[in-house]
Amino acid sequence: MEAKKAVEAALSEWGMPKRMRFDNGYPFANTSDRYVPNALNLWLVSLGIEVVFNAPHSPQQNGSVEGTQRISYNWANPKTCKNAECLQQELNRVSSDHIKVLRQRRNGDQTRVDLCPQIYSNTRRYDAQSIDPQKVKDHLAKYSWEKDVYDNGYVGIFSKKWNIGRQYARQKVIITYDKTTNEWNIAMSNHKTIKRIDGPLLSKEAILNLAIFQ
């Protein structure tokens, strides 16, 4: 939840971007299976923010951010900060300097605010009430996951395990989401349905509290 609070603070100050790019680490990515979304990035999806992940071992795909982090570390000089409050003040100062002071040669020696003056007037303001469960349903419906059935007849996804029968042990099944009924559909590779299971909790409150899969 700490990461979510930090993102909420940023969205409240700067407004909501069209997309956000992340690496494949915790907490924004599902570290056990990068192709399965977690509750945190589905919360962003519900706000109308496209969630994009780097390809594995490809930090250069987010090179600008990686470079900014290195510069921010040098400018803030955390070793001189006596406590977390001091460090936060320094990071806030550095953030402001990145926008208003740092000039980029590749962009005509202009600052970020020179290039994008609307940065301070983003009309997509963050509002928790703007959560749209339908956006999450549409997003989940795009996926198709191939999973192995355990020896005991269970199959797992989203930190859950469902019993579909020992007769399917060691076979592969396909899991999809039916947005019209809010159900998981588990099928054989020939798409013949084995079992349908109640889907995630998609109320605004559940999405906001990252409780979709509880």
* Structural domain boundaries in the chain: 58-125, 142-200
List, in sequence order, every residue forming a beta bridge with 161; answer none if it has no partner. 156
**Whole-prediction pTM value?**
0.81
Pairing of strands 172-178, 160-163: unpaired
Q: Where are the beta strands (DSSP E) in the chain?
A: 19-22, 50-53, 145-148, 154-157, 160-163, 172-178, 183-187, 193-198
Which CATH fold would you assign to the domain 142-200? OB fold (Dihydrolipoamide Acetyltransferase, E2P) (2.40.50)
Per-residue pLDDT 10s for the chain (214 aa) are 788 998 998 898 888 989 998 887 788 888 777 788 999 999 999 999 999 887 666 666 566 666 677 778 788 888 888 898 888 888 888 888 888 888 878 778 898 888 888 877 778 888 888 999 999 999 999 999 999 999 999 998 888 899 999 999 999 999 999 999 999 999 998 889 999 999 999 999 999 999 998 8
